[in-house]
Every structure is written in structure tokens, then in C-alpha cells.
Amino acid sequence: MKKLVKNILPETIKSIIRASKTYQYIYNKNHANKLASSGKKLDICANEIGFYMLYTGQEKYVLRNKVCLEVGSGWLLTHTLVFYLLGARRIYATDIEPLLQCQYISKAVSQSVNWSILDSLSNFEDRHLIKSRLDNLLSVKRFSIQTLRNFGIEYISPVDLSQKLPIEENLDFIFSKSVLEHVPVADIIPMLENLERELSEEGFMFHLIHLTDHRDLENNPFNFLVYSPEDYSRELQTRWGNRIRRSQWQEIFSNLKTLDFKFVFEWSRQDKALPTEINPCIQYTDEEDLRTSHIGVYLKRTPQTVTSVGGNKQ
């Protein structure tokens, strides 16, 4: 029934409902509660970070005493808790909208499997230290902005990082998961240039970008490629995805003057048909470019004295 009503209502009405404070209040609470026992459990996030660190060739103590930034930290900040477990000194969790629901964080922590967290992270920090930090997190019954601060986590929202980076110190690690695809096309380069400027000399970034249509990820992953720019507002770019394809991301990252980048993984969707007509505004090279569904992007400063490392300025 809920699905039927959702499908019948025109987009304009849905937008009005979604923009209301009451809807957002209820949605954010329900969503956070769901995420706390699914995709944002601490063990799942530790697992993801462990993989990303392996994919990007990081070594032991990669985050110990480091300063980290998460872009688009969402409802639960569980990835930032993983950076705390790895010994980060300070972690800035930022978001364009204040989505954070602190009251569900302890659920995401306590419903996790402890040994899985330890196994995922022990390549990158001493296991007994991860364990004692995990015990610290488990001892918190109800998280708040202040308890997060006690773990070195500073929540900054609302903030638009394409406008400015409200952080005074250099950043050793910049992370985002499922965020850059929500940033309107016009804001991507200013945002990446702001991040580039604040990255420390030895610092690195990792961004997981999800390139399919968020309106119906499962059944219609490419449908958004049919819309003309006039029919695809900034609001839709944020909601369904900005539609930047792999080759355009490649171009954007190669234009960052002081950074080398590498796609450390890329996956594609072959199970669904592409639309018969792709709008001419979509920049792409071939079918595979359109079908790419996820990219994992690793960026690091270009060494000053060496012309190229591994040919990553693609």
C-alpha cells in the first residue's frame, strides 16, 4: 500500500512532502534505526574500511595520531568510529545536512560482532589497542555530540565543502562513501579542489562512488541517463545521483594538479538493460562506461621530484 501511494504521487507532491520538517524528522529517525542494525553496524563498517585500506596498499598504523575528515557522514558516523578504533587523533565528520541521530549509535556498536571488528582492523593497528578502544565505545549507553568529542570526533553540519572547508589543520586522510555521486555536478570540482588544498603532504583520500540511479537502484539502475539537463535539477542530482560516468570522473580527478589518483576497484551492472536513448548531455565513452556502477578512488599527492608514480595521472 505504502509503495502504491509512493508510485502514484507525482514527483512535485513528493518533493513538497519530503521537504517538510515533520517528514524529515520521522524519516531520519526511522532510517537511522534501520541502518544501526544493517549496513551501518560497526562490524560492517570496520570490514569496509579494512578492505579499502588493503585495496589502497596501506600499512600498519596508517591512521594512528592522524587527522581525518569524513565527507557526508550521514546518520550514524560509524565509519568515523572505525577511524577512532584505528587510533586517529582527531576526526571531523561533516555533512551538508545535519542528519546525525546520536541515539542510535550505541545500537550500531552493541549489535556488532566484536571479533569481526578486530579481525578487519588488526592489519592496521595493534589488536589490543583496538580492543580497548572498542570497550570504550561499548561502555557508552547513549551517545551525544559531547561523547563523540571525547573520542576526538567533531561533528560539523550543515556545511557545504564546495564553498569552504571550516577546518584549520591539515588533513591526513579524507574519506567518503556513497557521497560524491550526490554532489551536484557544478559543485564537484570546487569541493575536490578545497579537499586537495587541505590534504597534508603525506595524506591520502579514498572515495567510494556509487554511479547508478538511486531512485531505483535494484531494478532501474540507468534510468536517470534519459533526462535532459532542464528536467534534471540540482535537487534530483542530489537525490538520484549526479550521473557523472566513470570516464568523466577520470577526467575530473586527473585535472587535480597536485594529486595522483587510481581507481583501485571498479564494478559494473550487466543485469539490466540500458535505456534505448541516452540524453546527449551525458558524457561517456562506451557502453562499459555507462554500465560502471561503483568506483573506489585513491588519491595521494604527486611526489615533487618524481614525474609519475605508476602512471596514475591517467
Ligand X SMILES: C[S@@+](CC[C@H](N)C(=O)[O-])C[C@H]1O[C@@H](n2cnc3c(N)ncnc32)[C@H](O)[C@@H]1O
- H/E run at residue 268: strand 259-268
Are 294 and 245 in contact by the 8 Å Cβ rule? The answer is no
**Which residue, 104, 106, 100, is CA-closest to 24?**
100
The residues facing 295 across adjacent strands are 209, 266
Phi-psi region for residue 57, left (φ > 0), alpha (ψ -120 to 50) or beta?
left
Binding mask 213-252 for ligand X (x = CB under 6 A): -------------------------x--------------
Residue closest to 45 by CA, chosen among 134, 161, 139, 171? 134
When asked if residue 99 is in the footprint of ligand X (CB under 6 A), the reply is yes
For 215, phi then psi, to 5°, come to -70, -40
Nearer to ligand X (CB atom), residue 40 or residue 243: 40
The residue at minimum Cβ distance from ligand X is: 74
Q: Which is nearer to ligand X, 31 or 64 (CB)?
A: 31
Q: Which of residues 18-57 bind ligand X (CB under 6 A)?
A: 40
| Cβ at position 107, least distance to ligand X in Å | 15
Residue nearer to ligand X on the CB measure, 260 or 299: 299
What CA–CA distance (Å, rounded) separates 172 from 300? 10
CB of 70 to ligand X, least distance (A): 7
CB of 275 to ligand X, least distance (A): 23
β-strand pairing of 90-94 with 153-156:
parallel
- Least separation in angstroms between CB 304 and ligand X: 30
Strand pairing report for 67-71 and 171-177 = parallel
**CB nearer to ligand X: pick between 76 and 118:** 76
Counting contacts by CB under 6 A, is residue 205 touching ligand X? no
Q: Does 90 interact with ligand X (rule: CB under 6 A)?
A: no
Q: In one letter, which amino acid is 140?
A: V
Least distance in angstroms from the C-beta of 92 to ligand X: 13
Pick the binder of ligand X from 72, 203, 221, 296 (CB under 6 A).
Answer: 72
At 100, is the secondary structure helix, strand, or coil? coil
Q: What is the DSSP letter of 68?
A: E
Window 140 to 199, contacts with ligand X (CB under 6 A) = 161, 177-179, 182-183, 187
Query: Binding residues for ligand X, per CB under 6 A?
Result: 40, 71-74, 95-97, 99, 161, 177-179, 182-183, 187, 238
